[in-house]
Amino acid sequence: MAPRRKLAAGNWKMNGALADFAQIDALLAAHPDPGCDVLICPPATLISPMAQRTAGTPVQVGAQDCHQEEKGAHTGDIAAPMLAEAGARHVIVGHSERRADHGETDDIVRAKAQAALAAGMRVIVCVGETLEQREGGSTIDVVGGQLQGSVPDGIDGEQLVVAYEPVWAIGTGKVPTNEEIEEVHGFLRQALQKRFGDDTGAGIRLLYGGSVKPSNAAEIFAVPDVDGALVGGASLKADDFGGIIAALQAA
């Protein structure tokens, strides 16, 4: 198996404007050869101009969600082929904010992942427990159920990225201990290998997400089976995202 290539993925969520492309210019000026995959998932309105702006650079562009159907009467939604045409190469599906704000179930997330794959993009499937679930001791059950229900059959290792994002760590400044991250990532790796076979399962990249910053990135990237990060707030500023990329490069 080829070594898994590290991935620094930024999720801008509902933030950003054309003027913020200056942050990407600064990021590229500081890290012209980042030594890992770098992905930014802006709001859908920015995908096309960002893809044009970053063409020929190491920055790839992705989407934060897609609809599960190819086309149709779904006012306000965007289909996966439309995102691909706009320049997206990855799609995040099943982020906890989508699961909570839009009632997305594992079945819906899996259908969205299938749609993204059918449109030729890679998918980042998010899983993660709430604080209540962690304190109730059901983290592995919750994450295992989400993984099983949200990841489609028949994927290859290159197409799929899984992001472990504890809901209580997102935007809060709280981060699990290294042991807690290692337990979940080790479980995810085993579950993926059991389902897809040793080689395919070993090739799937596992990201940690939730309050990753330059100050804690090196420690998180030292955890086995952490292949990078899905970064929210700290992906908006070149200095912060650049610091995380540097830590990943050094890991």
**Contact flags string 63-102 toward ligand G3H, x per CB under 6 A:** --------------------------------x-------
Rounded Cα–Cα distance for residues 136 and 212 (Å): 24
Rounded Cα–Cα distance for residues 17 and 41 (Å): 13
| Region binding ligand G3H by CB under 6 A among candidate stretches 31-39, 66-74, 186-194, 224-232 | 224-232
Q: Is 31 a catalytic site residue?
A: no
The one-letter amino acid code at 71 reads: K
Q: Is 165 a catalytic site residue?
A: yes
Q: Which two tokens stand for residue 175?
A: 């981060």
Instruction: Please report, in range form, the residues annotated as the binding site for substrate.
Output: 11-13, 171, 211, 232-233
Burial 208-235 (b: 16+ CB within 10 A, else e): bbbbbbbebbeebbebebbbbbbbbbbb
Is 176 a binder of ligand G3H (CB under 6 A)? no
| Region binding ligand G3H by CB under 6 A among candidate stretches 135-143, 178-186, 188-196, 205-213 | 205-213
90, 95, 97, 185: the catalytic one is 95
Residues 6 or more apart in contact with residue 62 via CB below 8 angstroms: 9, 39, 40, 41, 88, 89, 90, 91, 92, 121, 124
The minimum distance between CB 198 and ligand G3H, in angstroms, equals 29
Is 157 a binder of ligand G3H (CB under 6 A)? no
Give the active site residues. Answer: 95, 165
Q: Which residues bind ligand G3H (CB under 6 A)?
A: 11, 95, 165, 170-171, 209-212, 230-234
